[in-house]
Amino acid sequence: MAVGTAGAEGASLRSAGNENYTLPMVLMVSLYFSIGFITALNDILIPHFKDLFHLTNVLALLVQFCFFGAYFVMSIPSGWVVGRIGYKAGIIAALCTMGCGLLVFVPASIVISYPVFLFGLFVVGSGLALLQVAINPYVGALGKPETAASRLNLCGFLNSLATTIAPRLGAAFIFIAAGATAAQLAHSVRTPYVLLAIFTFLLAGITYFAHLPEVIEKSAEGVSGDGHAWNFRHLRLGAVAIFTYVGAEVAIGSILIAFLGQPSMGGLSHARAAVFVSLYWGGAMIGRLIGSVALLRIRADRALAAVAVVAMLLVAITIFGHGLVGMIAIVSCGLFNSVMWPCIFPLSVKGLGKFTSQGSGILVMMVVGGAVIPEIQGLLADKLGYQHSFIIVLLCYAYLVYFALSGYRIRQPRSASISDYVPPVAT
């Protein structure tokens, strides 16, 4: 999915001795699965709300705008909250916030109000932003540093598995028989979101009673108030790369059901098209497994250039193709999206030295691309048609090719010293 895992540099655990980290790790994996599942359900909500409220594509895609916009708005406040109340309490607060947002779907389905649904999604997105800030340090710290990458990959795999399953299950609940009334269409979203709320509150209860070791953040040596990560050109270009990657990935998943419902693409029903949304995210899951091995032998810049070029070609085929050819092309993009985050992120923070954590925060905020790019594609779809709307996705991948070939290269900022370029220890 759009939201990737990040390492926990500068974090360690306070423990009394030889700790068994099995239960905490199972809990962390469950939380990453929940993040993926809830996020992928948006792809089902968009066409459903479009039909229920008779919306344009721009208005229907406000689902992603509110959801991912919450990440941008709440990322910095979430860091402050976790700093004040601690990581365990932060996880519990995040899960309770998510649960409350999910329950907003009950009154929204009763009054049949799109703004109330959007408010609920913003609350859920805010909870997810807080959750990611709180759980990332645990994944890297729950065990030996040399196995941190393996744990992160496991979380990423479970996250991708959830995004593969969610569209199929969501469609089974939400997409009901043709000719249903507005009240029936609104009611169909209630059951899955109430079940998710119950599950979320259950996880909060388990977290409360579970013994989670305390995360201790190490203060970076030699950090002063001089300079900023934003002074590094490759970090700035990397932030745009995260913005465009997440935006392209989310935009494809968001518009896929409506796109495949067009006569030129087979005129699939929402329920049948949801199968291809699962295949799209399933490709990302398979790509993560392949990438975990391939990236050990291939440089990140070369891997990113290769997958971005292929993604560009697939989107071009989608724009000019029809039927099965266009369908296969756009669904296949998921496979090549899979390794973009683990390529872009390290290329962007390489050489930041004491500004690494600052740069990581900037990159995570750029997930807001998932709010902006789908809206642009929705506008193009309303004006130019679905196929031509993929031009914005094509441009996103074109930028990633530029970043992979040139933009990632480190160029010394004017006010930086050579010590700032010591690469951070890999986790």
| pTM of the entire predicted model | 0.85
Q: What is the pLDDT of residues 105-122, one digit of tens each?
A: 999 999 999 999 999 999
Distance of alpha carbon 427 from alpha carbon 425, whole angstroms: 6
pLDDT value of residue 239:
93
Judged by phi (left if over 0) then psi (alpha if -120 to 50, else beta), residue 19 lies in: beta
CATH numeric code, 1-218: 1.20.1250.20
- Domain 228-414 sits in CATH 3.90.550.10: no
Write out the DSSP string of 207-265: HHHS--PEEEEPPPTT--SS--GGG-HHHHHHHHHHHHHHHHHHHHHHHHHHHHTSGGG
Extents of the domains making up the chain: 1-218, 228-414
pLDDT value of residue 91:
92
pLDDT value of residue 1:
58
1-218 and 228-414, same CATH topology: yes
Positions of the chain with pLDDT under 50: 7-8, 16-17, 219-225, 415-427
b/e sequence 41-72, b meaning 16+ C-beta within 10 Å: bbbbbbbbbbbbbebebbbbbbbbbbbbbbbb
pLDDT value of residue 243:
96
Q: What would the two tokens of residue 100 be?
A: 């409350």
User: Which neighbouring-strand residues pair with 13?
Assistant: 215
b/e sequence 185-197, b meaning 16+ C-beta within 10 Å: bbbbbbebbeebb
pLDDT value of residue 53:
94
Q: How far is CA 76 from CA 17, 127, 132, in A?
A: 34, 13, 12
Rounded to the nearest 10°, the torsion over CA 409, 410, 414, 418 is: -160
